[in-house]
A and B are shown apart, each in its own frame.
Chain A
Amino acid sequence: MLVQEFLEKSAARLPEKVCLVCDGRRWRYAEVDACANRLAHALRDAGLERGDRVVVFLPNSVEAVVGIFATLKAGGTFVVVNPTTKERKLAYILDNCRASALLCSGRQQELAATLLSEVPSLRTVVLTGKEESVHRSPAMLSYDRIQEEWPAEPCAPVQIDLDLACLIYTSGSTGEPKGVMCDHGNVDFAAASIISYLKNVEDDVVIGLLPLSFDYGLYQLLMTFRFGGTLVLEKGFVYPAAVLERMQQERVTGLPGVPTIFAVLVKMDMTPYDLSSLRYISNTAAALPPSHITELRRRFPGVAIYSMYGLTETKRALYLPPDQVDRRPGSVGIAIPGTEVWLEDDEGNRLGPGQIGELVIRGRHVMRGYWGDEAATARRYRPGPLPGERVCYSGDLFRMDEEGYYYFVARRDDIIKSRGEKVAPKEVENVLYALEGVVQAAVIGIPDPVLGQAVKAFVVVDGRTLSEREVLAHCRANLEDYMVPRQIEFCRELPKTDSGKIKKSALR
């Protein structure tokens, strides 16, 4: 199945069913499909060609959902970018994937105009919202106008399952993000596998609290449409009480979350809310502490809890069947249906129970590689057992118990995981180095009971006085929210190794 068919098939079968609850409105399958068709026609008319990248730079909203499916229907490849991304990185991503179109809010038309002049490949901008476009440039289109003027005729597909459905940008240890290439076959396979172990049914109502720019958030949309369910799409987990209210109101059955969300939930008084509709809770992005699992089991005794592990490069790798969570709360389980995993040591030897090694992943969920980065692709995706196939080296260390259940041990590289989001120290360091007065910078993750890890920056300044506020303001202007350091420590000097590199292992 092509990914746009997740929507099209459900729209054909259940046209009047509510598929999306968002910003106080309810949308039916047929309506969303029609909106996506209209935008697809407009994109094609604007010159979008098969395989062209369309960047969706919006918060969780109906326009983002429509943008994703419209791109696919038009034959393009969608790239959802976190809406808090600042200009420099957004320009980098647009240029890196040579995007030809951008879908963003009308409130950001100044930024869009700048990007049109800076990014050579960018030809078309579609603006959402009511703001009139002051630029009146032919390159800038209005989403609302498109919905009024274009026909909702279906678009015949121009791609096959080997073609790319999307790029999902993920942070790497060099600081610049890389786009993981996902073809239609990858996405369909991964979605079907996850749906099967979550036992999703058409009556499921899933609450989407995570950004669509994050694969975990994106797949809540894709999977729900694929099985014909309803997605309650929230902007984020900003107001916990409002989320619980919504879960009660919409009779939510599925709650996918990350540890920071569960950390807040377990502290709340849930007695005012009727959450009896809840059937499952899922967790990934970071480990759920056994104490939180115990607390969740206590508050939601009949609810299945799924501890999972994955990486953007394969979407998901492991899940713990819920009937194991009491016995093995520290485990993230077994390979997702239809896939396999094993552990290897540094020499490539396969390991047995009790030994610690790198998790290697095999299956049709193993994505195509990193866009435009053959070297990084070759390091991550290496030849597998059969000719012509590739397996994914996760870069994470695990051990397996006697019954074949896996336990996460440590990340191989020094990426910081804060609030379930990846932070590349080098990316933050690069930003710090760009601030006048900073001569040395080192960024590490320090343990934090709520965030998982907190970002801490050590800064050495030249003669002048720099305040913590100035450093934070600079970081805030150049980094996504979750990358901004929680702590800044000024030092005279940073510890070095013999070869003169900053010795992060000596920093706390």
Chain B
Amino acid sequence: MEYIAASIRDYIARNILFSGEAYPHPDDASFLDLGIVDSMNVLELVGFVENHFGIEVGDTDIVPENFDSVSKLAAFVARKRRQA
């Protein structure tokens, strides 16, 4: 799961924060609260986890419980991979 979390942090840092640095927030920090995610970015995140981890994300999966922090998203990806 650490590998999953690391990939997610890296993706967000590079493609959403456009930073060359490491992801600067704790894993459990809410993206919504931090204001770093909007409706466009969420779709990009969906695309990223589908392509990078080979999982399928349904419309009803796109909820804060699964997507709103690094740890939530990593847990969601891990669950999906176990189901596959």
Contacts and interface: CB of A to CB of B under 8 A. Distances in A.
Q: Which of the listed residues B35, B39, B40 has the most CB atoms from chain A within 10 Å of its own CB?
A: B39
A264 interface: yes
A83 B63 contact: no
Interface in B15-64: 17-20, 32, 35, 37-40, 42, 59-64
B63 A238 contact: no
A191 B58 CA distance: 40
Contacts of B18: 469, 472-473, 475-476
A235 B62 contact: no
A264 B64 contact: no
Contact of B39 (A237, A245, A268, A473): A237
Shortest 5 CB-CB contacts between residues of A and residues of B: A473-B18, A472-B18, A242-B63, A476-B18, A241-B60
A264 B14 CA distance: 25
B: interface residue count bin: 10 to 19
Contacts of B62: 239-242
Contact of A241 (B19, B20, B63): B63
Interface string A227-256: 000000001111111100100000000000
Q: Which of the listed residues B18, B37, B40, B61 has the most CB atoms from chain A within 10 Å of its own CB?
A: B18
A59 interface: yes
Given A235-B32, A473-B20, A264 B63 contact: no
A239 B64 contact: yes
A150 B19 CA distance: 44
Nearest to A260: B39
B59 A241 contact: yes
Interface of A: 59, 83-84, 235-242, 245, 260-261, 264, 268-269, 272, 419, 469, 472-473, 475-476, 481-482
Interface of B: 14, 17-20, 32, 35, 37-40, 42, 59-64, 67
Contact of A83 (B14, B35, B39, B60): B35
Contacts of A235: 32
Contacts of B14: 469
Contact of B35 (A59, A239, A261, A264): A59
A236 B35 CA distance: 10
Contacts of A241: 59-63
B51 to A, nearest CB: 19
Contacts of A472: 18
A236 B39 contact: yes
A238 B59 contact: no
Given A242-B63, A473-B19, 19 more contacts: A83-B35, A84-B35, A236-B32, A236-B39, A238-B42, A239-B42, A239-B62, A239-B63, A239-B67, A240-B39, A241-B62, A242-B62, A242-B64, A260-B39, A268-B59, A419-B40, A469-B14, A469-B20, A472-B18
Nearest to B42: A238
Contacts of B19: 473
A269 B35 CA distance: 27
A272 B60 CA distance: 9
Contacts of B39: 236-238, 240, 260-261, 264
Contacts of A261: 39
Contacts of A268: 59
Contacts of B60: 241, 272
Contacts of A475: 18
Contacts of B67: 239
B23 to A, nearest CB: 14
Q: Which of the listed residues A83, A241, A472, A482 has the most CB atoms from chain B within 10 Å of its own CB?
A: A241
A469 B14 CA distance: 8
A443 B65 CA distance: 38
A238 B17 contact: no
B48 to A, nearest CB: 16
B63 to A, nearest CB: 5
B39 to A, nearest CB: 5
Nearest to A234: B32
A308 B59 CA distance: 29
A238 B62 CA distance: 9
B36 to A, nearest CB: 9
Contact of A481 (B38, B61, B63): B38
A84 B67 CA distance: 20
